[in-house]
Amino acid sequence: MLQPIEPVTDPALPPGHPRDLGGPWHSEAACRSDEAGLFFAPSKEPTAARLLREEAAKRVCARCPVMLECREHAVSQPEPYGVWGGMTAAERRVVLARRRRREAELQHSAPPIAAAG
């Protein structure tokens, strides 16, 4: 189980990304040493530039020792922006929608709990 995330104060880093957070897995984030703008889109970023930037960020994630922890955090929060755990925000929304649909199906298919008596 992940622990609550405590922010650390590093004004050089954008807020809200693993490298900017304190916690049990954040200190191992591969993105801690990468350039600040790789994981979040600047305003009015052209599509081609966004795709290249996201692929570069995903390459950093691919070698990150805490990718699964990061991904689970970003899907379950959910984190609305940026590349986290090797996934874009749009990709995480798909995973979260599937997860919620699966959970709803499980709730509807579960047998009723018998009343104690």
Chain residues binding ligand SF4 by CB under 6 A are: 18, 29-31, 39, 60-61, 64, 66-67, 70, 83-86
**Structure token digits, residue 84:** 């986290």
Rounded Cα distance between 46 and 36, Å, is 18
Burial class from Cβ neighbours inside 10 Å (0-12, 13-18, 19+) for residue 81 reads middle
Say whether 87 sits in a helix, a strand or coil: strand
Known binding-site residues for [4Fe-4S] cluster equal 31, 61, 64, 70
Cβ-based nearer residue to ligand SF4, 24 or 103: 24
Provide, rounded to whole angstroms, the least separation between the CB of residue 15 and ligand SF4. Answer: 14
Provide, rounded to whole angstroms, the least separation between the CB of residue 51 and ligand SF4. Answer: 17
